[in-house]
């Protein structure tokens, strides 16, 4: 796809901007969730003003070719209830940052700031694997675990706006240290980072089963990542298949906990690890069934892999902003939309 194709003037277009730890990904998204153009920049993580500059640069580049309705920003972190202020972002320099006000002033258009996991879940609920589900839980497996709950067409953020931290449920008492300060959090066992760490540990232990994996990185265990293990598992490396299955075990256990607490109609698994497809899904489903409380007596929610991949945050942020601007609502709860 060319960076900015010259398709002009489609009504209801919004820009979705997904601010990750290393990359700012932006796209022009139409009312059907189709990405018409996209651009990416490295994330200037050190200075909030530089992040704003990067956002403004991306918006003006798109505006040269498209008539834009609104702008949605998705970022890791906690937003206040109104979707105006970023209270805290783990890998950006935002602390109580009034991001929406700053950007609306500079861009002279409606801006919405949302949690990136909510945006990804919204994209799957609107157009993807969870389309139309009345109570949907999405988990995004990347560096950690992002979580969202979409109930009756609304993103649920909790009383204080900080719900969805599923990745920090403690699943192994006194387990691996988590950057949140606790030990044994779910994301230390069921994320892309966890998969990479397990691969590295296996390689460092000089286990004969890790020889092929180690050879693939030129003998350097530090070069083993979750993405590499996922790729090699898909290619049939039996050790990497086992490592993905282990993640599925933990993933299914955590989903069973979420089912007990939230009773969703469906789970959608997104993020980089969802690229493992059935290799991950099957052990996850088996573990989920094994750990589901009241199993045999309660319906087991189906588990699906996400459809949007890496674009979920971009598509969801754009759509939330488009609906919010059209309906005149503010904050992280766009009204239910039929379009």
Residues that bind Zn ion (CB under 5 A): 168, 178, 180, 182, 185
Nearer to Zn ion, 182 or 293 (CB): 182
Using H for helix, E for strand and C for coil, what is the string for the chain? CCCCCCCCCCCCCEEEEEECCCEEEEEEECCCCCEEEEEEEECCCCCHHHHHHHHHHHHHHHHCCCCCCEEEEEECCEECCCCCCEEECCCCCCEEECHHHHHHHHHCCCEEEEEHHHHHHHHHHHHCCCCCCCEEEEEEECCCEEEEEEECCEECCCCCCCCCCHHHCECCCCCCECCCCCECEHHHCCCHHHHHHHHHHHHHCCCHHHHHHHHHCCCCHHHCCHHHHHHHHHCCCHHHHHHHHHHHHHHHHHHHHHHHHHCCCEEEEECHHHHHCHHHHHHHHHHHHHHCCCECCECCCCEEECCCHHHHHHHHHHHHHHHHHHHCCCCCCCCCCCC
Closest distance to Zn ion from the beta carbon of 185 (Å):
3
If the CB atoms of residues 40 and 178 are measured against Zn ion, the closer one turns out to be: 178
Our CB check for Zn ion shows the closer of 177 and 298 to be 177
Residue 325 burial class via C-beta count within 10 angstroms: exposed 0-12, middle 13-18, buried 19 and up: buried
Shortest Å, Cβ 167 to Zn ion: 7
Residue 80 Cβ vs Zn ion, minimum distance, rounded to whole Å: 22
Q: How far is the CB of 180 from Zn ion (least distance, A)?
A: 3
Is the CB of 87 or the CB of 180 nearer to Zn ion?
A: 180
| Residue bearing tokens 């050190």 | 46
- Spatial separation of the C-alpha atoms in residues 193 and 184, rounded to whole Å: 14
CB contact at 8 A, 112 and 72: yes
Distance CA 200, CA 62 (A): 42
Task: Provide, rounded to whole angstroms, the least separation between the CB of residue 186 and Zn ion.
Answer: 8
Backbone CA torsion sign across 44, 48, 54, 55? positive
Residue closer to Zn ion by CB (options 55, 185) is: 185
Minimum distance from residue 334 beta carbon to Zn ion (Å): 29
Nearer to Zn ion, 40 or 180 (CB): 180
Q: How far is the CB of 196 from Zn ion (least distance, A)?
A: 17
Nearer to Zn ion, 34 or 179 (CB): 179
Closest to Zn ion by CB, 143 vs 324, is: 143
Nearer to Zn ion, 16 or 146 (CB): 146
In the complex, minimum distance from the CB of residue 34 to Zn ion, in angstroms, rounded to a whole number: 36
Closest approach, Cβ 170 to Zn ion, in A, equals 8
Whole-angstrom Cα distance, residue 247 to residue 187?
10
């Amino acid at each position: 796809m060319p960076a900015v194709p010259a398709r002009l003037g489609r009504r209801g277009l919004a820009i979705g901007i997904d601010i990750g730890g290393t990359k700012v990904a932006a796209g022009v998204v139409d009312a059907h969730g189709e990405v018409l153009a996209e651009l990416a920049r490295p994330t200037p993580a050190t200075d909030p003003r530089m992040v704003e500059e990067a956002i403004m640069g991306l918006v003006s580049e798109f505006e040269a070719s498209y008539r834009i309705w609104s702008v949605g920003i998705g970022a890791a972190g906690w937003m206040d209830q109104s979707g105006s202020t970023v209270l805290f972002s783990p890998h950006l320099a935002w602390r109580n940052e009034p991001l929406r006000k700053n950007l609306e002033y500079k861009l002279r258009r409606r801006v919405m700031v949302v949690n990136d996991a909510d945006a990804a879940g919204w994209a799957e609920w609107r157009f993807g694997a969870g389309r139309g589900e009345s109570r949907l839980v999405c988990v995004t497996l990347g560096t950690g675990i992002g979580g969202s709950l979409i109930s009756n067409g609304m993103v649920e953020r909790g009383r204080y706006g900080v719900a969805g931290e599923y990745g920090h449920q403690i699943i192994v008492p006194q387990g691996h240290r988590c950057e949140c300060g606790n030990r044994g959090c779910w994301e230390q066992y069921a994320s892309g980072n966890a998969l990479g760490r397990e691969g590295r540990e296996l390689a460092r232990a000089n286990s004969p089963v890790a020889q092929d994996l180690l050879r693939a990185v030129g003998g350097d265990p530090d070069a083993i990542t979750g993405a590499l293990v996922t790729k090699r598992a898909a290619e049939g490396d039996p050790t990497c298949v086992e490592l993905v299955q282990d993640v599925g075990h933990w993933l299914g256990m955590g989903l069973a906990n979420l089912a007990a607490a939230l009773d969703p109609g469906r789970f959608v698994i997104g993020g980089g690890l969802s690229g493992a497809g059935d290799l991950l899904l099957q052990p996850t489903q088996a573990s989920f069934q094994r750990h589901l409380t009241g199993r045999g007596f309660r319906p087991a929610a189906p588990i699906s892999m996400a459809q949007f991949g890496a674009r979920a945050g971009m598509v969801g942020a754009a759509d939330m902003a488009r609906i919010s601007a059209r309906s005149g609502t503010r904050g992280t709860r766009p009204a239910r939309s039929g379009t």
